[in-house]
Amino acid sequence: MSRDSGGFLLSELDLNEIWSVIDQMADAARVETLRHFRQAGLEAQSKRVDFDPVTVADRGAEAAMREILGKRRPEDAILGEEYGASAGTSGYTWVLDPIDGTRGYISGTPTWGVLISLADAHGPVLGAIDQPYIRERFYGGPGRAEMTGPLGTKALGVRGTTDLSETVLFTTFPEVGTQEDGAAFRRVAEHVKLTRYGCDCYAYALLAAGQIDLVIEAGLEAYDIQAPIAVIEAAGGIVTDWSGGPVHEGGRALAAATPELHRAAMALLAET
């Protein structure tokens, strides 16, 4: 099996079938998440001592997606945030985050999303970011970089900003991660035009859509970043860890619209 010029392993994949599976899963997750969104009485339990919420909507959405995979792609492995890893035999793994941004979800903001990606041993092959409430879906993979939504279907493409002083920078939490991570982030933020917080996975979708220029985060898991990698790279952007290496297993992520911004941000992140 070999990868195409974009680095993707395609020899055993029927892309039309895969995109159909993604749409079916995203549609099912929309039903489960919208069933509870902004509804009175929604309870959230914390998975850690510091508040890391999970709801019946998270679990229901992942269960619905897993049920579809069990019927349509039973040979593939699955890695999901809520139900962990399930083994497969095909060499491919579906990486699922049923609600990326549960804190936003329980607060009623429309910036959370459903993340779906298909990965091989080298990382994500293709993926989608879905925002159920505003009905936007962002696709990225071999030969496809597009979004659908209330305004129709349009191509995705990062914008061409190269000057850090003209950059719009996003992250989810003002703390970013550890104190060291936060200090590194602020070194970049001091040089940009605008810094915004709190969009979770939707920030990556905005980068792919050409609305913003940089996303810098830390403390990520594989299911947080694999779909954004697929979407942003298909749109012409760059996603690595803070030193320029692979980030599909999680950790510190740097997503940039252009190589120039990527280099400039990486240099500032590396300063001591």
Q: Are residues 144 and 239 in the same domain?
A: no
- Interstrand relation of 136-141 and 123-131 (parallel, antiparallel or unpaired): antiparallel
What tens digit of pLDDT does each residue of 120-137 get? 999 999 999 999 999 999
In this prediction, residue 48 carries a pLDDT of 57
pLDDT in tens, 85-95: 999 999 999 99
Q: What is the DSSP string of 146-202?
A: EEEETTEEEE--------GGG-EEEES-TT-SSHHHHHHHHHHHTTSSEEEE--TTH
Q: Which of 155, 172, 198 is the last residue of a domain?
A: 155
One domain, residues 137 and 214: no
The verdict on residue 42 lying in a domain is yes
HSE of 76, CA atoms in CB hemisphere, 13 A: 26
Q: Is the pLDDT of residue 224 over 70?
A: yes
Q: Looking at the structure, do residues 122 and 248 belong to the same domain, yes or no?
A: no
My answer on whether 49 and 139 are in the same domain is yes
Residue 7 in any domain: the answer is no
CATH code for the domain of 174: 3.40.190.80
pLDDT band at 37 (very low <50, low <70, confident <90, very high): very high
Domain count, the chain: 2
Domain co-membership, 21 together with 122: yes
Q: Does residue 96 sit in the same domain as residue 188?
A: no
- Of 48-52, 86-90, 112-116, 179-183, where does mean pLDDT reach its minimum? 48-52
Residue type, 117: S
Asked whether residue 131 falls in the same domain as residue 21, the answer is yes
Looking at the chain, list the stretches that DSSP marks H as alpha helix, in order from N- to C-terminal side.
15-34, 56-72, 102-107, 179-189, 202-208, 222-234, 259-270
Same domain, 180 and 57: no
The more confidently predicted of residues 206 and 54 is: 206
In a domain, 27, yes or no: yes
Range of the structural domain that residue 230 is part of: 164-270
User: Do 21 and 66 reside in the same domain of the chain?
Assistant: yes
In a domain, 1, yes or no: no
User: Residues 12-30: pLDDT tens digits?
Assistant: 689 999 999 999 999 999 9
Which of 121, 155, 189 terminates a domain? The answer is 155
Tell me, yes or no, whether 195 and 217 share the same domain: yes
Percent of the chain at pLDDT > 90 equals: 88
CATH number at residue 73: 3.30.540.10
pLDDT of the residue at 12: 61
Model confidence band, residue 45 (pLDDT cutoffs 50, 70, 90): confident
| Domain co-membership, 187 together with 144 | no
